[in-house]
Amino acid sequence: METPAYRYNLGLLRQTLDVAIAESSPYGYNLHYAVKANSNPRILETIAQSGIGADCVSGNEVQAALDAGFAAGRIVFAGVGKTNAEIELAIVKGIQCIHVESFEELLVIDELSATKRKVTPVALRLNPNLDAGTHKYITTGTSQNKFGFSNEELEEAIRVLPTLNGVKLIGFHFHIGSQILDFTKFTQLAQFANGVYQRFSNLMLTYINLGGGLGIDYENPLENPIPNFSEYFGTFATNLNVGNEVSVHFEPGRSLVGQCGELLTRVLYIKRGEDRSFAVVDAGMNNLIRPALYQAKHSIYCVSPLVDQRDTYDVVGPICESSDVFGTEIELPKLMRGDLLAIRSAGAYGESMSSRYNLRNVTPSFFTTGSEAKLEMVVEE
């Protein structure tokens, strides 16, 4: 088997989708998969087949979602730096909604829509100034973050909107961050949204998008392969009160695909340091950047035939960066050259953030619907 490579369990992905849909459906909630989490075409096609929508943050993601079979009327488009070409693509394709991040962007969308004789549905992204309590790089809802309208810009937008002919305000968009496991944050978000919709009740809004953010269990992925969607959606059902005429939308990404993927890598060398042992593997931070970028911790296990003797290793890659480390002081069976390791919970923000840094090869992908231990079931895409 070629390594490094991403292996995806499509069976687990479909099961996760089924649970998310089943837990959200009783409330009439609408789901849009956050394409940025994993844009592998096979993953996108599988999710599109479930019937949910897509959340995109670039024009290429919009096109990829369309190519994968997502309905244009269920695609939403966010992002603080949309280009004219990206906005025009969204307008021409007739997607469900553009999430607007600033007053100036609103004016650009209006102008581009008007030139095409279109009226584009928009939702204004608001910043609730709510700290998600996660890594600062994936916290998006505080006043120090670049996302969403400020209070001053919001007032100006509401004042000007009646004079714009190319856009139609249908609601508001919120997203406070990623990998959130403290459900009180979602309670606070719902309560903030209630205040916003009460404040602007005269606008007759029909749409609210509460973003995503539900985290996964990186420490115990086998025990908890599917996030607690029941409590997640139940929290909003209990606390959200924006009116029955408003359709409620969510953007799950990591929570859908995070546990269905893992990065396979082989041991190149065992290196004995002064006070630790290194397992040098053929995967690097170019294949999975989360540990280097976010100081993220992933469970690592040995796929090769296990031996009774165990040892402790720093699992490191070949990239010429000291941050190219997947885990420190990881207890594993005693390793030798050629052993196969798997880095779990790599289905989200793994392949989608990979690169060819150091001119390394593109990471191939494999798919299975069986047990993670049955490597013979892996089929190359």
Q: 135: helix, coil or strand? A: coil
Residue 263 pairs in a beta bridge with 6, 343
* Integer-rounded Cα radius of gyration of the chain: 22
pLDDT tens-place string over residues 200-250: 999 999 999 999 999 999 999 999 999 999 999 999 999 999 999 999 999
pLDDT tens-place string over residues 11-36: 999 999 999 999 999 999 999 999 99
* Amino acid symbol at 361: N
Position 381 scores a pLDDT of 37
Instruction: Give pTM, 2 decimals.
Output: 0.92
Average pLDDT of 104-128?
96
Which has the higher per-residue pLDDT, 38 or 134?
A: 38
pLDDT tens-place string over residues 49-93: 999 999 999 999 999 999 999 999 999 999 999 999 999 999 999
Specify the residue for token string 């630790």: 276
CA distance 350 to 312: 25
pLDDT beyond 60 at 111? yes
Position 147 scores a pLDDT of 63
Pairing relationship of beta strands 261-272 and 5-9 according to DSSP bridges: antiparallel
pLDDT tens-place string over residues 350-359: 999 999 999 9
Query: Do 368 and 273 touch, CB atoms closer than 8 A?
Result: no
Position 370 scores a pLDDT of 63
Please report, for the chain, the start and end positions of each structural domain, with discontinuous segments joined by +: 10-258, 259-380
Quick one: fold of 259-380? Lyase, Ornithine Decarboxylase; Chain A, domain 1 (2.40.37)
Domain 10-258 is of which CATH architecture?
Alpha-Beta Barrel (3.20)
